[in-house]
Chain A
């Protein structure tokens, strides 16, 4: 049987070599055959033993082959006779894994790999290339094992503080404020695995503690209100009125829609009477608050509209009357001029001021563009809510004098893919705009009544105070609150109360303290009282938090807390239903976003400067997240990350990939041909661009990325003081990049590491620094063929994918299990976790590698329930 399989495989390899046009079936076939090779699928035990042996020092090889070389070439100066640099090579312990001399060995590694030793003026001790290579190789392996051992021997706890982004989401969810609140906190550092939520990296400092307290109080003040409902400022911009004003003057230049030259006029924003066809240019003006306007009033649809062609904007001067704080609601009644399904239009808001010559600013203030979907006959209101205290305002707006200028401008922009050369290109038609600030859906707002809810005890500060605190602290601390805890908080309240005019003000100070407490800031797991360090399972309430931080990057909601309080959450059926609910909730987008960004290291895109097109930059950042979301939502196989016969792209990215027929800014699944040279994560422009050096591809970066992120087989770190490739050497300048790399790799000191890295990266060579597919560089044919150190040939991207699918499915599956489990637990994994990881991987592979299964298996695993 086994032989038969091998024979089949042999045939496939022949086929692969023979005809690359059959790539698509070949990749599918490779995936099927590769699956059959899985050792995990053959595993019959439910708890397989770990086959990742704890590494051991290779002392035998040292005695036979390394020791003699050192004795011959080093001991003369670093031995019993002389000990230059106080180094005695003969006294070093050759066990780098457990011995005390690893730092000295690292130094020896450095001087040997850089050819600094033995000194050039000591010909007697000259080291042959082969010997040098052998010592460096041995040291590389031993140092690598030593570092692996050091990393993996320590058992880490999942007890950790929230990350910056988790803290932000937690505050938003707790208070019901949909805005970023924690921008002031310092950014987190990623662990060696790339994760920001890794317990050992999440430190706490006095500075941070003070930020938490400030941010908490500020957010509480934003969520609550006092006094009577403030009278809002209201602006109304009616296109009918604007038309009346604009066409009243005797210099008004009107035109007719039916005229010949309308084509000329229609590319600029203009007012148009849809019935008479009369038009006039209009791109903005002044607006003043109107006392007669009724907020939320919806006048009849007017025949007069503002026609906004693609990329045009309406710029309204709102003078200086917008309040300092609160939400600005901008309501724009808009419809589409045409309904062609290949054309899209969205609205975006920009805010600006121009206070004096060369002192100006403008910034996009809408969190996302809102599409205009309905035809003009069924115009709909597009509503934007803008937090006025978060945006850059004109600081001079309160001046008594008129200079520097005090006014503020709101721009409404049409972001569209309409083709202006078309007979009738899509425009956005707006007939009515209303601006209300501060805008409140209701009074007092929900964010207020979440904290200060209605109660029959509201007049009794002592009783009501306890109610408010118990409810708030339960949600913030994610567990039941004891009455002693409420007592302590009430004692604090009693101390504050005399200093404040109202109950609420004093209470907010106490609530801010609740938010600065470790019970809020940390994901706790309490030890059972009797045996403090015994491994055990976490309690239901702790499971609720672990779940919500995994899938929502935030605190659990009332449903999860309720189930946990009744100790039902661990019931497999209940748990499964909750996971299903959580994945269906919009908050699960945070899981896709944060896990994918950290798993793939997409932060690196932030420092890429060679993507100058903003829309492209946003698109390449989003693509891997959208791809992951697609695979998760449809519970597809994670082997799609290696290769898929579809891409998840939007119009901008489709243009970049030269895939026709994709319209609009939203991401969707698009079937692609093999000739598109895309599919999967590896061929995505973001990953390719961030592993480039700005001008060109960078095979080394791409290789390292592949090993670290995708295969979880990180190469050893580069030695200190690596000699730079000498670009002043004319011989080197003449070489192609691949030749240069080969030249570097051929140096004995560099060979061992680079042989493990470069071939992976060279397979990506058909993609340039922007991830565009190419066949030539400087008129030379791109050579993307490489050979792995195990002599496996990789022929470009498809060859790489083929090889991964044929031979590395287990490794990739296991890598992904490892990465996602580390993320789910919020801690680095250790040797002790490998058996459990293997167990998950076996079940994951057996069930068909589906991404949703992986999430469920991790949540159901012992690891996830353990302390």
Chain B
């Protein structure tokens, strides 16, 4: 089976699964559908590996190249790493003191897998993950769009256990393969015709017709009481039928036409800026055409050579992972900071574009209806604590930006475990108290309309967000 693209969307599930349907999210969105207001609610998460620079205060580089801002909740000051986001100050929120508790003493290299899932994926032995937050949202609202979600990464595919190359995991905790070729993503979003899908759907429809007929005839032979039990089965088949009809609708509808002026579909990571901007542009176009409302994008993979190194090389730096190791070399902190700054700059460009585009349905701009987050599962040098997270937008969803939100206690100035430069650092004692990042996910889920008070076993939302 063509595993490189199978799970990207519900439609592609259909391609791969014969008459069997892969529409496990059905129940969740059937219930929610009627409640969703007109403006789409969107979620996008960008992940970058290898964390950020956190020099000690005593280090001369601290002034300019420490990732976290200085100051208070509203009057914070950005360092050179993030100052590219200054024009968007009122649209962003920076978080500190958040992490996933189960991973706090696991090497950062193993942790891209759990950034959106909060699962205890550990460091060795058997591997088990759980559903990622984007897929919970996709299960909730994915039926409203042609594609339930868009899953992308620079390296593509799924990666390996504890070396994920995708941010998205399905209900069973299995990785959803990420796409990494702009042309392929574009075709999938805006070109692909539905011939095969149509044939599959027709076959499924015949099977359902058969099952409904034979269930009816079985029902006639049952007692009234047992007929009521069988009714449940019939309802399940009918629900699936409704679902098929919706899938049919997308097959019958031509893909949206989009403006391709800013797309360089042949770009690969060696042309970092073009590639990066094209990937962001594809997310933007997918959102603009309401082809999907959920996207993840993993920039690189933890500890590994690969296409993402070319990104840092292309902006004149060394290989991405090496930058974190070389902070004590001349200009080390600066180089790492520059790479992170570059990432922030591209994220800012994407955010600005959403802000500049009026929401097609009329409620404010696109950014106001989008929660966009950008972060990593390690802060300083492979240390899986105090994740460096920025979010943008979501004003219409209830997010109040322009703030630096410090959570937890004991690390108000982000100096705990700062400045570590050896691989032993990640094992260090836990000295500061942090809050579970999953609580931010619960907040996000609720504001995007998912009725839940917990995620991955963590209950409750984050205050102040």
Contacts and interface: CB of A to CB of B under 8 A. Distances in A.
B110 A492 contact: no
B160 A518 contact: no
Contact of A495 (B108, B160, B206): B206
Contacts of A521: 233
B413 interface: no
A359 B160 contact: yes
Residue from B21, B207, B239 having most chain A Cβ neighbours under 10 A: B207
Interface string A346-387: 000000010111111111100000000000000000000000
A184 B173 CA distance: 10
Interface stretch (B182-190, B215-223, B399-407): B215-223
23 contacts: A159-B229, A160-B229, A161-B233, A206-B239, A209-B237, A210-B23, A213-B19, A213-B207, A214-B17, A357-B109, A358-B107, A359-B159, A359-B161, A360-B124, A363-B125, A395-B160, A403-B305, A499-B203, A513-B211, A517-B211, A518-B211, A524-B226, A529-B221
Interface residues of A, number: 62
Interface of B: 17-27, 30, 107-110, 123-127, 157-163, 172, 199, 203, 206-207, 210-211, 213-215, 218, 221-226, 229-230, 232-233, 235-237, 239-240, 243, 302-306
Nearest to B19: A509
Contact of A526 (B221, B305, B306): B221
A363 B161 CA distance: 12
Interface of A: 157, 159-161, 184, 199, 203-211, 213-214, 216-218, 353, 355-364, 392, 394-396, 403-404, 485, 488-489, 491-492, 495-496, 499, 509, 512-513, 516-519, 521-522, 524-527, 529, 532-533, 867
B213 A203 contact: no
A359 B20 contact: no
B186 to A, nearest CB: 24
Contacts of B203: 495-496, 499, 509
Given A395-B158, A395-B160, A205 B305 contact: no
Contacts of B240: 206, 209-210
Contacts of B159: 359, 395-396, 404
Contacts, number: 193
A384 to B, nearest CB: 18
Residue from A206, A356, A396 having most chain B Cβ neighbours under 10 A: A206
Given A157-B223, A210-B24, A214-B21, A404 B233 contact: no
B225 A358 contact: no
Contact of B236 (A157, A205, A359, A396): A205
Given A358-B109, A359-B161, A403-B305, A157 B126 contact: no
A513 B237 CA distance: 12
Contact of A488 (B160, B162, B213): B213
A454 B235 CA distance: 39
B110 A157 contact: no
Contacts of A199: 229
B214 A509 contact: no
B110 A206 contact: no
Contacts of A499: 199, 203
6 closest cross-chain pairs (CB), A and B: A359-B163, A358-B109, A206-B239, A214-B20, A159-B226, A209-B236
A210 B21 contact: yes
Residue from A205, A358, A518 having most chain B Cβ neighbours under 10 A: A358
Residue from A205, A518, A522 having most chain B Cβ neighbours under 10 A: A518
Nearest to A396: B160
Contact of B232 (A184, A204, A213): A204
B213 A526 contact: no
B214 A519 contact: yes
B230 A522 contact: yes
A516 B162 CA distance: 36
A360 B162 contact: yes
A96 B374 CA distance: 58
A356 B303 contact: yes
B172 A184 contact: yes
Residue from B215, B237, B302 having most chain A Cβ neighbours under 10 A: B237
Given A358-B110, A361-B127, A488-B210, A513 B160 contact: no
Contacts of A161: 233
A554 to B, nearest CB: 20
Contacts of B110: 358-359
B226 A355 contact: no
A672 B70 CA distance: 70
A355 B160 contact: yes
B17 A361 contact: no
B126 A532 contact: no
Nearest to A491: B210
Contacts of A217: 17-20
A363 B122 CA distance: 13
B237 A358 contact: no
A10 to B, nearest CB: 53
A208 B236 contact: yes
Given A216-B20, A359-B163, A359-B302, A207 B27 contact: yes
Nearest to A355: B160
Contacts of B306: 403
Contacts of A394: 160
Given A203-B232, A395-B160, A525 B226 contact: yes
A132 to B, nearest CB: 34
A164 to B, nearest CB: 14
